Amino acid sequence: MNSSQIKNKIKREEIHAKKRQDKTRRKMELRLRRRKEEAEDPFKKEERLAKNVPKTLENTREFDETIVEAEDTEVFEDETSDEFSSYFKEGISPKMLITTSKRPSKFAYEFASELIDVFPNSQFVKRGSKFSIKQIVEFCTNRSYTDVMIVNEDKKVPYAITLIHLPDGPTAYFKLSSIKLNHEIQGHGRSSCHKPELILNNFNTRLGHTIGRWLQALFPHIPEFQGRQVATFHNQRDFIFFRRHRYVFKNKEKAELQEIGPRFTLKLKWLQKGTFDKDGEYEWMFKPDLETSRRRFFL
């Protein structure tokens, strides 16, 4: 009899508990029997593990025609003339100006200060209340800056980053979340002035490839490995997680990673051609109706 059909509550709970115990016992007996069989025949364990591959959003991702293959000649040809080609071909060193929205809070200043520590050759300039983004772009272009990063804030909380590549764009707008400053990370380490090693993970589509090349162009060409620092941008389900660590050597043979900070997460909302213009042409813009499936990603 189905336990839900029993009217007596106490009896119904007893039967339900007994069924649950029987189910747990059968699973345990099956596990012990399988363990014994696999101990006698290791091939059975290999066969079981080969079949029991868990399904995740990553390995069941919908096929995307814009995914960049390892030897995609069309992508390589585009790279020779894109907005970041001068960085890779001519060896231009990045030089970035970091500023905030108008009338920023103390937290925004602290976050911007740690961003200067993240990106070598960057400089913070306090934004006056009368300066527009176009004026900031003009100011930076005349002084040979390669990029502008603006920390956008609302209700004393940084919520977005506007990134502009100079002199001809593009412009990207990222949602900013999960910020943790250096002192908020338990067991954090101290950074040095060395140029970090850069790691980029899972920027697989054409859009992701563009964002990955841009992030790469924000760091100097040659990392200083003696600084033992590594900066990682990890793309997972269109969220870009940033972490920064340094290697700590316990002895000659063993090294551990110690997080330096800051820690934050980015999500691309739009990518615009050229420098910032409200009426400009957009290469890509996120819209809610694009999320028709949980297994569809864009970066």
- For residues 40 and 160, membership in a common domain is answered with no
- Whether 38 and 77 share a structural domain: no
Label residue 246 exposed, middle or buried (CB < 10 Å: 0-12, 13-18, 19+): buried
Residue 16 sits in the same domain as residue 163: no
Q: Which amino acid is at 233?
A: F
173-197: average pLDDT: 90
**Is residue 185 domain-shared with residue 108, that is, in the same domain?**
yes
pLDDT (0 to 100) of residue 270: 94
Does residue 153 share a domain with residue 47?
Answer: no
Judge if 157 and 93 occupy the same domain.
yes
**Is residue 77 domain-shared with residue 47, that is, in the same domain?**
no
Q: Where are the alpha helices (DSSP H) in the chain?
A: 9-40, 42-51, 73-79, 85-89, 106-118, 133-142, 206-216
Each residue's pLDDT tens digit, 231-288: 999 998 889 999 999 888 777 677 788 899 899 999 999 999 988 888 888 999 988 7
> Which amino acid is located at 163 in the chain?
L
Q: Characterize 143-153 residue by residue with b for buried, 16 or more Cβ atoms within 10 angstroms of its Cβ, and e for exposed.
A: eebbbbbbbbb
pLDDT tens digits, 42-73: 888 888 888 888 877 667 777 677 777 767 77
Pair 131, 224 in one domain = yes
Query: Across residues 192-209, what is the average pLDDT?
Result: 89
Examine the domain organization and report whether 132 and 37 are in the same domain: no
Domain assignment of residue 299, yes or no: no
Residue 175 lies inside a defined structural domain of this protein: yes
Give residues with Cβ within 8 angstroms of 111, minimum separation 6. Answer: 151, 158, 179, 181, 262
Interatomic CA distance for residues 57 and 297, integer angstroms = 10
Q: How many angstroms separate the Cα of 257 from the Cα of each of 191, 248, 260, 287, 288?
A: 13, 6, 9, 38, 38
Q: Is the residue at 297 inside a domain?
A: no
Provide the domain limits for residue 16: 8-52
Strand-pair category, 229-236 with 197-201: parallel
Domain total of the chain: 2
Q: Compute the CA torsion angle 130, 135, 141, 142 (nearest 10 deg).
A: -70
Question: Is 120:145 a contact under the CB 8 Å cutoff?
Answer: no
Q: What is the pTM of this model?
A: 0.80
Say if residue 265 is in the same domain as residue 143. Answer: yes
Q: Look at residue 122 in the predicted model and tell me its pLDDT.
A: 93
* pLDDT single digits (tens) 78-136: 777 888 888 888 778 899 999 999 889 999 999 999 999 999 999 999 988 888 999 99
Mean pLDDT of the chain, nearest integer: 87
Q: Does residue 83 share a domain with residue 46?
A: no
pLDDT reported for residue 1: 62
* Mean pLDDT value of segment 156-160: 93
User: Do 249 and 113 sit in the same domain of this protein?
Assistant: yes
Assigned domain for 17 exists: yes
